[in-house]
């Protein structure tokens, strides 16, 4: 009997270990809150494991073919009772059957453990609201007939007749239409309101619809998609899927008339107006004006059109006389509350020389889509009389011999010597007079305290203060009165144009006037050059 004790001990140990390993194996179970449910009714699926596991161990994607699946929740816990430890992992997820009949919840596997499949009996259940009972879509379009390149406004309104907190994964769709360009004019506006005694949620949004080619089109109005949790404390919760259906708006695009000539500009309404201003910002009311050389005129043209975008408005081309230096500002655009667009174009014209001139009228041809006929809107031109600057005749002129007073001399005698002596004395006196005048003008101090500055000083001051329009006007007066050498005048005008482009151009930037001021101070007049030539004789 003694020799069998080791064998009995071994068998007992192996049996105990086997029982111990069996108790260590992972166990998982699956259960539902109801074995019989109706279509779209929400029930709970729970999976329990007797070990502490990671929440990512169970994947619920296999349910999506037959069920609406909510967001799973996971928890784990540890309990120690009478020195015995118990670990638990629990997954819970809300599911709702998508069809009636017998539906099977598949098994779930984690490591070597597998849950048993669950069979559900799904019935039709009680009547539940439809998408039409929950969502109402309304729309309004500005025009149902357009021409190519013409636009109209589409207003869309979505009325949600349930508590917005019941919505899950809501998504606002966009209007759809093949062959039309549709872009939002505003962000969606969301607010609470009362409709037929019921508190509702309203979502409003505006769109611009632009036609490209002739044809008949249908626009699918925006709507709301997602799911709604429906139910109350006395009934089961159900999932209602919003079907995404919405009404359609019909739109007809007419062809471009064969008889129309010129640039195509279709609109139901176009307004064209203008204003004129002088240097002192005084408005002009007539069709003619008189100004001086160097003075400026400001012409502002305003064009407002319905059913067009800023990119579709025409560029206004104006051919002004060469007697004016023209500075055109970049057109400015603004959107109006009625959906129309306004373009404002401004030009500054500076008179360079005296005379009588006509500034041109500006016509705009367009197609009246409301009355279906061609129209031309026009703003009138302006008759301008430019007077010569009074100071332009103040420069002294050298006397010239007249051919009519010349008489033949038969006998010279001592007259040539006397003539040469008097000519030399005249040249010397002229040189001294011009140099004295030049020195006096260059050294004369500027007058301040309310008195006018000399023309050149005022010009330099306008340049240093960055006022290109005023500087241009003063420059033309100064060039006229001083009779500057052509090469110097050309260099000064070139630098002045650079100043205007940088200060008043499409992308204004900082500009330093040191170079321009230096050119003006160093410029020479024709009279000065004549003095230098006489001084060298």
Pairing of strands 36-38, 341-351: unpaired
Q: Where is mean pLDDT largest: 308-317, 358-367, 399-408, 440-449?
A: 358-367
Which residues partner with 43 through β-bridges?
Answer: 95
Mean pLDDT of 427-456: 51
Q: What is the mean pLDDT of residues 218-223?
A: 94
**pLDDT band per the 50, 70, 90 thresholds, residue 446:** very low
Compute the C-alpha angle 222/227/229, nearest 5°: 135
- Cα 259 to Cα 163, 262, 273, 367, 470, distances in angstroms: 57, 10, 27, 11, 48
With H, G, I as helix, E, B as strand and everything else as coil, classify residue 1.
Answer: coil
CB hemisphere CA count around 187 (13 angstroms): 2
Whether 192 shows a pLDDT value over 50: the answer reads yes
Residues 6 or more apart in contact with residue 62 via CB below 8 angstroms: 106, 108
- Top pLDDT among 284 and 1 is at 284
Is the pTM for the entire model greater than 0.85?
no
**What is the tens place of the pLDDT at every residue in 29-76?**
998 887 788 888 888 899 999 898 988 989 999 998 899 898 999 998
- The burial class, CB within 10 Å (0-12 / 13-18 / 19+), for 77 is exposed
Closest to 309 in 3D by CA, of 368, 267, 271, 274: 267
- Amino acid 234: pLDDT: 54
Residue 346, CA atoms < 13 Å, CB-side half-sphere = 13
Q: Are strands 151-160 and 135-141 parallel, antiparallel or unpaired?
A: antiparallel
Give a three-class secondary structure readout of 367-429.
EECCCCEEEEEEECCEEEEEECCHHHHCCCCCCCCCCCCCCCCCCCCCHHHHHHHHHHHHHHH
Give residue 252's pLDDT.
Answer: 95
Give the domain ranges of the chain.
Answer: 28-123, 131-253, 266-387, 455-536
Is residue 143 helix, strand or coil?
coil
pLDDT tier, 401 (very low <50, low <70, confident <90, very high otherwise): very low
Question: What is the predicted pLDDT for the residue at 393?
Answer: 42
* Residue in the block written with tokens 């005698």: 413
H/E run at residue 359:
strand 355-359
| Burial 380-394, CB ≥16 within 10 A → b, else e | ebbebebeebeeeee
How many other CB atoms are there within 10 angstroms of residue 163's CB atom? 11
Q: How confident is the model at residue 479 (pLDDT cuts 50, 70, 90)?
A: confident
pLDDT above 50 for 405: no
Which residue matches tokens 């098994």? 107
Contacts with 213 (C-beta within 8 Å, 6 or more apart), sequence order: 148, 179, 253
Pairing assessment for the beta strands 180-184 and 288-292 based on DSSP bridges: unpaired
User: Which range among 30-34, 47-51, 479-483, 502-506 shows the weakest confidence by mean pLDDT?
Assistant: 502-506
Q: What is the pLDDT of residue 457?
A: 87
Q: Is residue 419's pLDDT more than 80?
A: no
Quick check: 196 pLDDT over 90? no
Token digits for 435?
């140099």
Strand partners, 109: 114
- Burial grade of 310 (CB within 10 A; 0-12, 13-18, 19 or more): middle
- Nearest C-alpha neighbor of 223 from the set 171, 184, 259, 263: 171
Is 27's pLDDT higher than 50?
yes
DSSP E strand stretches across 197-331: 198-211, 215-220, 224-230, 238-242, 248-253, 266-267, 270-277, 288-292, 296-305, 324-328
Give the model's confidence band at 406: pLDDT under 50 very low, under 70 low, under 90 confident, else very high.
very low
- Measured torsion, CA atoms of residues 32, 38, 39, 42, in degrees rounded to the nearest 10: -40
Distance (Å, whole) CA 231 – CA 219: 35
Q: Which position has the token pair 């929440």? A: 55
User: Would you tell me the crossing angle of helices 468-482 and 455-464 to the nearest 10 degrees?
Assistant: 150
Is 15:24 a contact under the CB 8 Å cutoff?
no
In the chain, what are the helix, strand and coil shares in percent, each to the nearest 5? 25, 40, 35
Pick the CATH number of 266-387 from 3.40.50.2300, 2.60.40.740, 3.30.70.860, 1.20.1740.10: 2.60.40.740
Q: What is the DSSP letter of 340?
A: -
Closest to 492 measured CA to CA, from 519, 458, 521, 463: 519
The per-residue pLDDT of the chain, averaged, comes to 80
Instruction: Check for a shared fold between 28-123 and 266-387.
Output: yes
Which CATH number does 28-123 carry?
2.60.40
Taking 80 as the threshold, does the pLDDT of residue 274 lie above it? yes
Assess contact for 276 and 382: CB atoms under 8 A.
Answer: yes
What CATH number has the domain spanning 131-253? 2.60.40
Model pLDDT, residue 239 = 82
- Three-class secondary structure of residue 357 per DSSP: strand
């Amino acid at each position: 009997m003694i020799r069998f004790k080791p064998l009995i001990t071994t068998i007992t140990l192996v049996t105990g270990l086997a029982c111990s390993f069996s108790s260590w194996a992972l166990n998982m179970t699956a259960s539902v809150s109801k074995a019989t449910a109706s279509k779209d009714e929400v029930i709970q699926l729970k999976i329990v494991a007797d070990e502490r596991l990671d929440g990512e161990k169970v994947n619920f994607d296999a349910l999506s073919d037959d069920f609406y699946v909510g967001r799973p929740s996971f928890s784990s816990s540890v309990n120690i009772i009478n020195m015995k430890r118990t670990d638990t992992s629990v997954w819970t997820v809300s599911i709702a059957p998508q069809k009636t009949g017998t539906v099977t919840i598949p098994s779930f596997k984690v490591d070597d453990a597998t849950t048993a499949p669950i069979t559900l009996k799904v019935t039709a259940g009680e009547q539940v609201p439809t998408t039409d009972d929950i969502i109402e879509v309304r729309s309004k379009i500005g025009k149902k007939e357009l021409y190519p390149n013409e636009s109209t406004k589409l207003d869309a309104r979505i009325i949600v007749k349930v508590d917005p907190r019941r919505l899950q994964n809501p998504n606002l769709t966009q209007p759809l239409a093949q062959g039309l360009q549709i872009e939002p004019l505003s962000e969606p506006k969301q607010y609470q309101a009362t409709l037929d005694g019921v508190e509702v949620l309203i979502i409003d949004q505006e769109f611009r619809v632009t036609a490209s080619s002739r044809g008949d089109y249908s626009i699918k109005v925006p709507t709301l998609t997602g799911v709604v949790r429906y139910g109350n404390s006395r009934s089961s919760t159900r999932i209602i899927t919003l079907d995404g259906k919405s009404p359609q708006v019909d739109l007809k695009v007419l062809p471009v008339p064969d008889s129309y000539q010129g640039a195509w500009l279709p609109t139901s309404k176009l307004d064209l107006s203008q204003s004129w201003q002088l240097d002192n910002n005084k408005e002009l009311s007539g069709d003619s004006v008189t100004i001086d050389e160097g003075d400026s005129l400001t012409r502002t043209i305003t064009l407002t059109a319905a059913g067009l975008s800023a990119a579709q408005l025409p560029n206004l081309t104006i051919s002004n006389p060469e007697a004016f230096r023209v500075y055109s500002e970049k057109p400015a655009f603004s959107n109006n509350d009625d959906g129309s667009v306004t373009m404002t174009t401004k030009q500054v014209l500076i008179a360079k020389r005296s005379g009588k001139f006509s500034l041109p009228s500006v016509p705009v041809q367009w197609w009246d889509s409301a009355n279906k006929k061609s129209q031309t809107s026009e703003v009138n031109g302006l008759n301008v009389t430019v007077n010569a600057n009074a100071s332009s005749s103040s420069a002294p002129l050298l006397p010239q011999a007249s051919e009519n007073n010349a008489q033949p001399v038969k006998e010279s005698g001592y007259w040539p010597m006397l003539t040469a002596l008097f000519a030399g004395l005249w040249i010397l006196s002229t040189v001294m007079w011009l140099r004295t005048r030049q020195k006096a003008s260059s050294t004369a101090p500027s007058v301040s305290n309310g008195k006018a500055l000399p023309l050149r000083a005022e010009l330099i001051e306008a340049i240093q203060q960055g006022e290109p329009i005023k500087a241009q006007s003063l420059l033309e007066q100064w060039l006229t009165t001083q009779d500057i050498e052509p090469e110097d005048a050309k260099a000064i005008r070139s630098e002045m144009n650079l100043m205007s482009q940088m200060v008043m151009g499409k992308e204004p930037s900082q500009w330093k006037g040191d170079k321009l001021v230096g050119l003006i101070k160093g410029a020479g007049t024709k009279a000065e050059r004549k003095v230098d030539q006489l001084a060298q004789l």
